[in-house]
Amino acid sequence: MLQRKTQTAEYWEREFEITEEDIEHLYSLILERNSPVSTKELVLEVIRHRCQQEEERMRAELSRGVIYQPRDSYEVGQQLVFPVFDYRVGTVVSIRPGHNPEHGEFDVIAVQFEDEDKPREFAANLKTPHKLNRGDDDGAELWEAAHLIPPDELYEKYGDRVRQLVVEALSRPDSEFVSYDDLWMLQGLLAEVHVGHLNLAEALIEVKGQPVTVQEILAELDLPEEIPEGIKEFSLNVALQQDERFDLVHGRDGELWFLRRMEPPEALSTPKWLVYTPVRYNRAFLSVELLQIEWELDDEWTEGGISTDSASLVPSTTVVLTYPHWKAGTLPLSSRTRSFFPPGDHKRGVITFVDGRWGQRFPGWIVYEDRYICGLRDWYEQHKLPPGAYIILERTADPNEIMVDFRPRRMRREWTRVASVEDGRLVFRMEKQPVACEYDEHVLIGEGDEAALEALRVQLAEQNVDIAELLAMVFPELAKLSPQGTVHAKTLYSAINIVRRCPPGPIFAALMSDRSYREMGNGYYALNVEA
> In 10 A of CB 494, how many CB atoms?
28
**What pLDDT, on a 0 to 100 scale, did the predictor assign at position 63?**
73
- How far is 7 from 496, CA to CA, in rounded Å? 57
Closest by CA to 347, choosing from 269, 239, 277, 261, is: 269
pLDDT confidence of residue 519: 93
Q: Determine the pLDDT at residue 487.
A: 96
Contacts of 47 (CB under 8 A, 6+ apart): 6, 151, 154, 155, 158, 159, 162
d(CA 348, CA 264): 12
pLDDT at position 143: 47
What is the 8-class DSSP label of residue 210?
A: S
Provide the b/e sequence for 343-372 (b: ≥16 CB within 10 Å): ebeebbbbbbbbebeeeeeebbbbbbebbb
Q: Splitting the chain (531 residues) into consecutive groups of 10 residues, what average pLDDT does each group show? A: 77 93 96 95 96 84 80 91 83 90 87 90 88 63 63 93 96 94 94 95 94 94 92 96 93 86 93 94 94 96 64 85 97 94 82 94 93 96 96 93 95 93 92 94 93 95 94 95 95 96 96 94 90 55
Long-range Cβ contacts of 169-172 (<8 Å, 24+ apart)? 169/18, 169/22, 169/23, 170/23, 170/26, 170/42
Q: Give every CB contact of residue 400 below 8 A, 6+ residues apart in sequence.
A: 251, 252, 253, 351, 352
Q: Residue 128 has what pLDDT?
A: 85
CA-to-CA dists, residue 145 to 5, 55, 142, 148, angstroms: 15, 11, 8, 5
- The angle formed by the CA atoms of residues 244, 343 and 364, to the nearest 5 degrees, is 60
Q: For position 250, what pLDDT does the model report?
A: 86
Q: What is the pLDDT of residue 59?
A: 78
- Contact yes or no for 233/227 (Cβ under 8 A): no
Residue 1: predicted pLDDT? 44
Stated pTM of the model:
0.74
